[in-house]
Amino acid sequence: MNHALRPVPKPKKFTPPVLANVDPLPTGPVAIGLFTGLSVEVCDPAAMAHLSLDGGFGQGTSSRSFPKTVARNGRNVGRVRRNPSGVVNRRQVERRREWAGKFGSAEGSEGTVWVMEEDEEKLVEVGAVSVEELKRNALKVEEDPFLIRENLSLSLEEAMFLERELNVLKLQAFDGSVLTEKNLVEKFAAIKKDFIPSYAAFMYLKSRNWIIRSGLKFGGNFLLYQKGPQFFHASYIVLTQAYQSGKILTTCGRNLENYDFQCFNRIAETTAKDLLILEVHYPEGLDPADPHECLRRLKEFRVGEVFPKHHNYVATRTG
């Protein structure tokens, strides 16, 4: 992808200063990631800030983008939050007390919340008052008995890239055992049938200095950002299509039909983005069902770019 031909990204109206100090890729100490069976979560606050700011990896487990601790404090992970973290009702407080008695509280989990009583909750339901007005004038601030920590959730492609290519992440199972590269590719390919072509596409895009985020919100594989989501809106929605010997491999991902182009183009245009399709070509003779061999021969994969702008699905349909 020629950088000179990239669409001009739309800048964000405001970039918080704590998120402006970034590097292209993370270096330094190795972080610990916990494989949950669906994704990989990083729990250490310093590692969360390091990975999310340097290279734009991961997403907060209860946030739309950066974890709240990173969005609030940046790299100052030792800073203590003094303001309440949110609004909960009295029933939720009692339930959290039950959890604290059953499971205990995590070390350093002190925090506060605004507590909404039943009569105040009814006023909000009928529209007599807003939650923001109650926060300013009426709600009590109490200690959170069971603070739910937010972690950094990494996609499977991000986890493999950080572990295999950059050596800045070590992955563990729930029992504390370290997962080897062989374990990882088996588990990742079992969870996600298009993991290998998706990872090949991820590597291709990283080699071109894109910041890559999940495209699930828009139905795609990835979203591409220049510099980072705190600076610009996404430039592309990316879809991947696997091929071998010139034929589409339906066992390794989606099979894009003509009507799909119409749908994705509409989504891209209404959200001020462009659509990019990456055709991932397997080497001849390679068994797509063998993830170990596919990963070993990843450098032999070829990736082509397709920009289906204003695709005429009526003119190209055959049925």
Could you read off the pLDDT of 288-298 as tens digits, one per residue? 999 999 999 99
Residue 310, pLDDT score:
55
CA 63, CA 118: separation in Å to the nearest integer? Answer: 27
Per residue in 28-41, pLDDT tens? 899 999 999 999 99
Per-residue pLDDT, 271: 87
pTM beyond 0.75: yes
Ordered domains of the chain (ranges, CATH): 17-67+152-316 (3.40.1350.10), 87-143 (no CATH)
Is pLDDT at 19 greater than 60 in this prediction? Answer: yes
Distance, CA of 234 to CA of 228 (rounded, Å): 9
Give the model's pLDDT for residue 172: 96
pLDDT above 90 (res 311): no
Mean pLDDT of 46-57: 94
pLDDT tops 90 at residue 3:
no
Banded model confidence at residue 317, pLDDT cuts 50, 70, 90: low
Can you tell me the distance from the alpha carbon of 214 to that of 218, in angstroms, rounded to the nearest whole number?
Answer: 9
Q: How far apart are CA 261 and CA 317, in angstroms?
A: 12
Cα separation, 181 vs 160, in Å, equals 8
pLDDT at 5: 57
Q: Residue 89 in 3-state DSSP?
A: strand
| Nearest CA-CA partner of 200 in 252, 237, 235 | 252
Q: Please determine, for residue 82, whether its predicted confidence score (pLDDT) is greater than 70.
A: no
Neighbour-count burial of 5, counting CB atoms closer than 10 A to its CB (0-12 exposed, 13-18 middle, 19+ buried): exposed
87 sits in which H/E element: strand 87-89
Amino acid at 315: A
CA distance 264 to 275: 7
Model confidence at 109: pLDDT above 60:
no
Q: Give mean pLDDT, residues 18-35.
A: 92
pLDDT per position as a tens digit, 159-207: 999 999 999 999 999 999 999 999 999 999 999 999 999 999 999 999 9
| pLDDT range class, residue 1, cuts 50, 70, 90 | low
* 8 A C-beta contact, residue 65 and residue 59: yes
